[in-house]
Structure 1
Amino acid sequence: MQTTLDFQYIIELFPILIKYLGVTMEMALLGFFLSLIFSVIIAVIRVFKLPVLHQLAGLFISFFRGTPLLVQLFLLYYGLPQLLPVLAGIDAFTAAVLGLSLHFSAYMAESIRAAILGIDKSQMEACFSIGMTRLQAMYRIILPQASRVATPSLMNYFIDMIKSTSLAFTFGVAEIMAKAQMEAASTFKFFESFLAVAVIYWVIVIFFTRIQLFLEIRLNKAY
């Protein structure tokens, strides 16, 4: 039985895993883009307290924040096609992206809502005084200011989303976690394989954490 760490194997594994990094980042970027759209819509609904939609948005947030991401992914990929046959042809990659976007939009919506509510009410009143509607004031004045406040938490969710893409391997998406699992199963070098993939995720997170710090400094420069 092997009792020493095979550093040579880890070094040789890095180039193999990095080839699948594109799939991981594509899932994370697409998921974050969709999450941002969903979360802004949900946040605006919650801020304006639109009848019926406000209650539905609250239910959406409660469900996706109150259940595990893995369960949501399985419901989406395996469960929904039983109820909606039109979804029977959905592929694993699309299901993973959609699942990630729905899950994280529930969290991001609350961050954006808090950022919007943190903007002084006089800003909205000033918009009304020059003839803007609520929606015009929201996307021209309020949301740009709220984006500065929400950026740190949104970047944290994006980093968390990158790590959560590893769950997609459970239903066959060929990303770096799936490749690490296959390499471990074929060589029985489980510790080395998972250590290599952990290091890759760690480096990615450090990189985007640096970007987050840069954005925070840049956005707060005027303040």
Structure 2
Amino acid sequence: MKLDPAFIWTAFVQLLGALPTTLEITFVSVLCGFLIGTLVALIRIFKVPVLEQLAAAYVSFIRGTPMLTHLLLIYFSLPLIIDGLAAHYGWNFHSASIPYIGFAYISFSITASAYMAEIIRSGLLAVDRGQIEAAYAVGMTTSQALRRIVFPQALAASLPHLSNSLIGMLHGSTLAFTVSVVEINAKAQIVASTNWKFFDSYIAAALIFWGLTILIERITAWIEQRINLYNRGGVA
């Protein structure tokens, strides 16, 4: 087997066309997962009756099953549910109207939320309980204490784990090809099919993912540096 640097470069340029799709899947999933995960974490921390047990079971099931399984379950079950409801209530909306990438958004958001929930929960629990009590003492409500005192510290402590989750979702976005979404990996297969240089094409895909991962790591390191500077009383 002989590498073709010229084709690797050609494939690299062509794969950049699928970069927006990969980034959309990644950031939409992480953002939605963060919001859902925050809600799940708060339910578990404040031990909301019934919901706490459901939240714990949700996290356990999602973390205990593969990401690809979530995608396939959503892909095959959601159309049945939507079409069934549409037929029952006479809706004009049907599952055929959902773009393929929509299944990836929903599935990966669910996957990300379970992992985010544990990251956020551990970050919130790491904040000294005395700070919340001090917030109550000066007249803050629970929501104000969480928003102004607890969450900023929890997010700062959880930043490395959040960064790892973002990288994990970036790499996991390659599974979207199973529902006909053309992201970077699927595009690499399409490009390689023209002359069967799959190895060269996947090298180009690997370089793009590597570059994106390094970029995320650098941004995370920069944010951590700013946070540490602020914590030491420096000028942020």
Provide the TM-score with structure 1 as the length reference.
0.94
Q: Is the 8 A contact 2:12 2:201 kept in 1?
A: no
CA distance in 2, matches of 1:69, 1:97: 12
Contiguous gaps of at least 5 residues in structure 1: none
Aligned equivalent of 2:174: 166
> Post-superposition, which runs of at least 4 consecutive aligned residues in structure 1 deviate over 6 A?
none
Quote how far apart the aligned CAs of 1:140 are: 2.1
Q: How does 1:1-223 map to 2 (within 5 A)?
A: 3-85=1-83, 88=95, 89-221=97-229, 222-223=231-232
Q: Which amino acid is the alignment partner of residue 127 of structure 1?
A: A
CA distance in 2, matches of 1:15, 1:159: 22
Q: Which amino acid is the alignment partner of residue 99 of structure 2?
A: D
CA distance in 1, matches of 2:112, 2:103: 14
Quote how far apart the aligned CAs of 1:130 are: 2.2
CA distance in 1, matches of 2:173, 2:81: 25
After TM superposition, the structure 1 stretch with the greater mean CA deviation from structure 2, 209-218 or 127-136, is 127-136
Q: Which amino acid is the alignment partner of residue 27 of structure 1?
A: I
Q: Is the 8 A contact 1:77 1:90 kept in 2?
A: no
Quote how far apart the aligned CAs of 1:218 are: 1.2
SS of 1:217's partner is helix
CA distance in 2, matches of 1:145, 1:12: 45
CA distance in 2, matches of 1:155, 1:200: 18
Deviations 1:15-60 (A, max 9, x none): 1001110111111111111111111111111110111111111111
Instruction: Give me the CA root mean square deviation.
Output: 1.4
SS of 1:49's partner is coil
Quote how far apart the aligned CAs of 1:187 are: 1.6
CA distance in 1, matches of 2:157, 2:47: 21
Contiguous gaps of at least 5 residues in structure 2: 87-93
Q: Which amino acid is the alignment partner of residue 211 of structure 1?
A: I
SS of 1:174's partner is coil
CA distance in 1, matches of 2:189, 2:11: 12
CA distance in 2, matches of 1:186, 1:76: 32
Deviations 1:178-210 (A, max 9, x none): 111112223211111111111111111111111
Quote how far apart the aligned CAs of 1:217 are: 1.3
